[in-house]
Amino acid sequence: MRAVSGVVLWSGGAEFTLSSRMAARTMLNGLEPKRVREICARFTAESRSFVLEPLQWNGRPPAPCTYIRCFRDRGALSPSDQEHMAARLGEGVRIVSLDTCHYPMLERPDQVGSILNETGNNVTQRA
């Protein structure tokens, strides 16, 4: 069993699902309650191996990279964890910080779209 902020993420078995209560407190904490309910209604079970199996890291590909750091993520990736992850990507990584929950594409889709467009434009300018 694993707990974040006193909320159980899963308990036993090969799969886990996020409870609506946990999701609202940790990963969807920037969205309106109605939107949280809509999103939670679409949750499906995930394999525990998704979060427990070690990842084989072979380094970042030689391409422009943008990391979006979410300041209000209270799920598995705290802001300090995100700092560590971004640093492991190496030099030349553009880090963009947003005051969002774990899902910035749901909370601030226009901003995320602009960030993706800027990253894409950098790729085409270098080609």
What is the residue extent of each domain of the chain?
2-126
The number of angstroms, rounded, from the C-alpha of 106 to the middle of its chain's C-alpha atoms is 11
Average pLDDT over residues 24-53: 84
Residue 7's pLDDT band, with cuts at 50, 70 and 90, is very low
If you average pLDDT over each of 12-16, 47-51, 87-91, which comes out highest?
87-91
Lowest-confidence segment of 8-17, 28-37, 65-74 by average pLDDT: 8-17
What is the sign, positive or negative, of the torsion defined by CA atoms of 74, 76, 77, 79? Answer: positive
Q: What is the β-pairing status of strands 65-70 and 93-98?
A: parallel
Q: What is the pTM assigned to this prediction?
A: 0.74
Q: Please state, rounded to an integer, the average pLDDT across all residues of the chain.
A: 80
- Split at pLDDT 50, 70, 90, the class of 3 is very low
- Between 3.40.50.1860, 3.40.50.920, 3.10.310.70, 3.40.50.1820, what CATH number should domain 2-126 receive? 3.40.50.1820
pLDDT given for residue 111 in this prediction? 96
